C-alpha cells in the first residue's frame, strides 16, 4: 500500500480523482489511502509535492538514521557460560566501534547470567545490556526474539553482530524482520567501507567461488551473522569494567509457544568443532569410512574433535556436523591435523586461521602443504597409528 507523508501533504486533492481503484479520499483537508491501494503509482506521479511514497520508499524517508549509534554483540550462553563466538565478535566489534567513534556493547539474555558480564568486559565491551528472567533461562525463538526486538526499539544500536550458529541463524533473521532491516548471513569478514562509512559485510557467494561485500545503506541497525572461529578471541583483561544496563523482561511464559521437554545430547566433544583447541580432520585420502577410526583414535588421544572435508562428508563417511570448510564450519583451533586432505580452496578457507596446521599426505605437491606449518609426506593410514601410539606414550608419561 502507498504511504502518505502527512507532514508534507498540502490537501490539494489532486490524488483523489486519479486513483483507478477509489482507494484515496479527502478527510479533514488531508488525503487518506485505504486498503484498496495496489501501489500502481498514479497518485505518486500526480502529487505536486511528493507527499505519497511507495511503502519501501516511505520507510527510507521516515527513518532517522542519526538516532542509531553503537555496536552491539549478542553473547550466546550455554550452560551458564558464554560461547566463544560471542567473545570473538567482541574483539572485532571493538575495532569497528573505535573506527566509528562509538561504544561497544554486549547483549546478554538469560537467567542468573550476570557473571557473564565480567567476560564481556574483559573482551573489550564498554557496556552490557542484561535481561534476566526465568522464562529466558533457555533459548527460545519467541522469547529471545521479543526481548531482542524490544532492546533494539528502545536503545537503537547502529550495528549488531551475531554468531552464525544454530541459535544465531534462528534469532538474527527474525529480529531483522521485526525491526524492518536487512541481515547479511554467514559472514567471514567485516570492515568499514571507506566511501560510505558503512559496515562492509563480506561473505562467500556463488558456491564460494567469489567473496561478496554487502552494505546496508538505508536501514538500521546494520545486522549480520558471522561464522565462529573466523576471528580470534581477544586476550581477556579482567581489570576492565563497564556499565551494566539492566532491562526488565516483558516476556511471559504464555508468550513462548514451544516448551523444552528434554535435552538429549547427541553430539559429544568429538564434534564440537567451534570450541575445540585440537581438531583432527580426515579427507578423501582416508579411502573408506572404516578408516576414520584412525582419525577418531588420534583425536581421542589428544582430547580433540573430529573433522572432515567435504569430499568425506559427501561420500557419507562422516555426518555434516563434522564438515570443515566454506560450506561447513569455520574453525580456528590451536592445532589442526589435515589427514589425507589435498587442500581445496574451500576447505582451506575454513581452517586457515588455525594456529598450527599439521598436514599428512602422500602427495608432496598437495596444496595443503603450502599452508601447513608441519608436513608429513606418507600414507596417512600408516602414519596415523604411529602418531597415536606416540602421543599416548607421552600422555602416559613414558
Domain boundaries along the sequence of the chain:
3-62, 66-255, 269-395
Q: Considering the domain 66-255 in this protein, what is its CATH number?
A: 3.40.50.620
Q: How far apart (Å, rounded) are the C-alpha atoms in residues 238 and 235?
A: 10
Q: How far apart (Å, rounded) are the C-alpha atoms in residues 244 and 388?
A: 48
Distance CA 368, CA 347 (A): 9
Identical fold, 3-62 and 66-255: no
> Are the C-beta atoms of residues 44 and 13 closer than 8 Å to each other?
no
What pLDDT score does 60 carry?
53
Q: What is the pLDDT of residue 179?
A: 94
Q: What is the pLDDT of residue 57?
A: 57
- What is the number of other CB atoms lying within 10 angstroms of the CB of residue 38? 12
Q: What are the average pLDDT values for consecutive 10-residue runs of the chain, which has 398 residues?
A: 84 91 89 87 89 69 80 93 93 95 96 94 96 94 95 96 93 95 92 90 76 89 92 92 94 89 67 84 93 93 92 91 86 92 88 90 93 94 93 82
pLDDT score of 117: 95
pLDDT score recorded for residue 268: 54
CATH number among 3.50.50.60, 3.30.70.20, 2.60.40.10, 3.30.470.10, domain 3-62: 3.30.70.20
Q: Are 146 and 249 in contact (CB under 8 A)?
A: no
Query: How many helices and strands (H and E) does the chain possess?
Result: 12, 21
Distance of CA 207 to the CA centre of its chain: 18
Domain made up of 269-395: CATH architecture: 3-Layer(aba) Sandwich (3.40)
Query: Residue 15's pLDDT is what?
Result: 92
The pLDDT, as a whole number, for residue 139 is 94
Rg (CA), the chain: 26
Pair 100, 158: CB distance under 8 Å: yes
Other Cβ atoms within 10 Å of 152 Cβ, number: 22
**What's the pLDDT at 214?**
92
pLDDT at 342: 92
Structure confidence at residue 163 (pLDDT): 94
For residue 63, the surrounding DSSP H or E stretch is none
Residue 2 φ/ψ, nearest 5 degrees: -65, 155
- Count of CB atoms within 10 A of residue 66's CB? 9
What is the structure's pLDDT at 398?
57
Under a CB-based contact definition with an 8 Å cutoff, are residues 129 and 155 in contact?
A: yes
Amino acid at each position: 500500500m502507498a504511504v502518505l507523508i502527512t507532514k508534507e501533504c498540502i490537501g490539494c486533492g489532486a490524488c483523489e480523482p486519479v486513483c483507478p481503484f477509489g482507494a484515496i479520499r479527502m478527510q479533514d483537508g488531508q488525503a487518506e489511502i485505504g486498503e484498496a491501494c495496489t501501489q500502481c503509482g498514479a497518485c505518486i506521479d500526480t502529487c505536486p509535492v511528493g507527499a505519497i511514497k511507495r511503502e519501501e520508499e516511505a520507510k527510507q524517508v521516515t527513518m532517522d538514521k542519526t538516532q542509531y549509534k553503537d555496536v552491539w554483540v549478542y553473547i550466546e550462553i550455554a550452560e551458564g557460560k558464554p560461547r566463544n563466538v560471542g567473545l570473538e565478535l567482541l574483539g572485532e566489534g571493538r575495532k569497528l566501534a573505535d573506527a566509528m567513534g562509538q561504544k561497544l556493547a554486549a547483549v546478554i539474555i538469560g537467567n542468573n547470567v550476570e557473571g557473564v558480564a565480567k567476560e564481556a568486559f574483559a573482551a573489550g565491551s564498554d557496556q552490557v545490556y542484561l535481561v534476566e528472567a526465568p522464562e529466558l533461562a533457555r533459548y527460545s525463538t519467541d522469547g529471545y526474539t521479543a526481548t531482542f526486538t524490544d532492546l533494539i526499539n528502545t536503545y537503537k544500536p547502529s550495528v549488531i553482530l551475531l554468531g552464525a550458529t544454530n541459535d544465531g541463524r534462528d534469532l538474527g533473521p527474525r529480529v531483522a524482520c521485526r525491526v524492518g532491516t536487512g541481515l547479511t548471513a554467514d559472514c567471514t569478514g567485516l570492515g568499514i567501507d571507506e566511501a560510505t562509512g558503512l559496515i562492509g559485510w563480506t561473505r562467500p557467494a556463488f558456491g564460494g567461488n567469489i567473496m561478496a561485500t554487502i552494505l546496508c545503506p538505508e536501514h538500521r541497525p546494520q545486522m549480520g551473522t558471522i561464522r565462529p572461529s573466523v576471528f580470534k578471541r581477544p586476550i581477556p583483561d579482567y581489570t576492565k569494567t563497564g556499565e551494566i544496563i539492566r532491562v526488565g523482561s516483558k516476556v511471559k511464559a504464555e508468550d513462548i509457544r514451544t516448551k523444552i521437554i528434554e535435552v538429549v545430547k547427541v553430539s559429544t566433544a568429538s564434534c564440537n568443532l567451534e570450541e575445540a583447541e585440537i581438531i583432527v580432520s580426515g579427507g578423501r585420502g582416508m579411502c573408506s569410512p572404516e578408516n576414520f577410526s584412525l582419525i577418531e583414535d588420534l583425536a581421542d588421544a589428544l582430547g580433540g574433535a573430529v573433522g572432515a572435508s567435504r569430499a568425506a562428508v559427501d561420500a557419507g563417511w562422516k555426518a555434516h556436523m563434522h564438515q570443515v570448510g566454506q560450506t561447513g564450519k569455520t574453525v580456528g583451533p590451536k592445532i589442526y591435523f589435515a589427514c589425507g586432505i589435498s587442500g581445496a580452496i574451500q576447505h582451506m578457507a575454513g581452517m586457515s586461521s588455525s594456529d598450527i596446521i599439521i598436514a599428512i599426505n602422500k602427495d608432496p605437491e598437495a596444496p595443503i602443504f603450502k599452508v601447513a606449518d608441519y608436513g608429513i609426506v606418507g600414507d596417512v593410514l600408516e602414519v596415523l597409528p604411529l602418531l597415536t601410539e606416540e602421543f599416548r606414550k607421552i600422555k602416559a608419561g613414558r
